[in-house]
Structure 1
Amino acid sequence: MAAVLALYVVLAGDRAVRFLASGEPVAIAVGVALVVTFLVGAWALVREVVFGLQLERATRQLADEGGMPAPLPGTPSGRAERDAAEQAFPGAKADVEAHPESWRSWLRLSMAYDAARDRRRARMVARKAIALRKTESLEAR
């Protein structure tokens, strides 16, 4: 998705420059709209790439510390079986309730949401984990 968004951003930027250079009032208005679209797309792309890198670092640290959740039985496609994911979810939620300031607990909850195929909540909780991890690293300095 990031590659498709990057392609769109480049194409929108190219079209915007062409419209702006035309000198026609309507074309200039379209060019300005495309510049705005370009900027929003670029911002979204950067935000998603940064999120992915931060999540990867947090996951790698959790794995290095031996804190990853136990693997769940999988389907032939590689996804966790839904029943197993739903059974693992209460434990992850209880871990967050017991340790609300632990980014590790929040990251494991994010993984539980993802295994249960709730991507929206998985991303929201992962962002909370990343924020707590950043706060922890700042306090450690």
Structure 2
Amino acid sequence: MTSRTGFFILSGVLLLVSLICIGEGVQLIATGKPLGIGIGLCAFVIPAIGVWFLRQTVRFGRASEQLARELEAEGGLPVDELKRTSGGRIDRASADAVFARRQAEAEATPGDWRVWFRLAVAYADAGDVPRARKTMQHAIKLHATGSTLGV
């Protein structure tokens, strides 16, 4: 299963569970009891938080895909130069070497979204997904502001 397919399946499940939760919340509020009303109101908040996270994830995905398309059109997408084990896993030393190079590029030109995009890819290749996401968000922010100068 691709990550996109998994995302759509989980999104559908989230929306289905949200509808069920809202339906249960309506029934709890209809009881007229203070505890039922309180829990029923909470049943509205939980799906709202889930849908907000889903929306943020979709926006992040679209923005990062836009950057990737733009970088590809410029011929600036990072080339996969990583060594792999016989099982297909990325060699840690190879990922660390590429990461060090990408980090140096980002430090040299901190206002260029392109180097931050490539650094985010290096973070992901090194297995540090939280930092990869944060770095990609920084690249998206730089791209949105049109920044090409130092931060």
TM-score w.r.t. length of structure 2: 0.80
Q: Is the 8 A contact 1:79 1:115 kept in 2?
A: no
C-alpha distance after superposition, 1:61-91 (max 9, x if no partner)? 1122111112023456755332211110011
Find the counterpart in structure 2 of residue 49 from structure 1.
Answer: 58
Q: In the aligned structure 2, how far is the partner of 1:134 from the partner of 1:58?
A: 10
- SS state at 2:127 partner: coil
Provide the residue aligned with 2:100 in structure 1: 90
* Other-structure match for 1:104: 114
Residue equivalent to 1:126: 136
1:1-141 counterparts in 2 under 5 A? 1=7, 2-3=10-11, 4-71=13-80, 72-75=82-85, 79-136=89-146
Runs of at least 5 residues in structure 2 that lack an aligned partner in the other structure:
1-6
Paired AA for residue 41 in structure 1: G
Distance in 1, Cα, partners of 2:29 & 2:111:
50
Q: Distance in 1 between matches of 2:120 and 2:37?
A: 45
Percent identical across equivalent pairs? 37
C-alpha deviation, 1:52, in angstroms: 0.9
Question: Match for residue 4 of structure 2?
Answer: none
Q: 1:76 to 1:22 in 2, by over 3 A?
A: farther
Closer/same/farther in 2, CA of residues 42 and 113 from structure 1, 3 Å limit: same
The alpha carbon displacement at 1:6 in A equals 3.3
Unmatched 5+ residue regions in structure 1? none
Amino acid at match of 2:129: R
Shift in CA distance, 84/53, structure 1 to aligned 2, threshold 3 Å: same
Deviations 1:82-129 (A, max 9, x none): 221111001100110111000001010000000000001000000000
Could you tell me how far apart the structure 2 residues matched to 1:96 and 1:22 are?
58
C-alpha distance 122-77 of structure 1, shift in aligned 2 (>3 A): farther
Q: Number of paired residues?
A: 137
For residue 19 of structure 1, report the CA deviation from its aligned partner.
Answer: 1.9
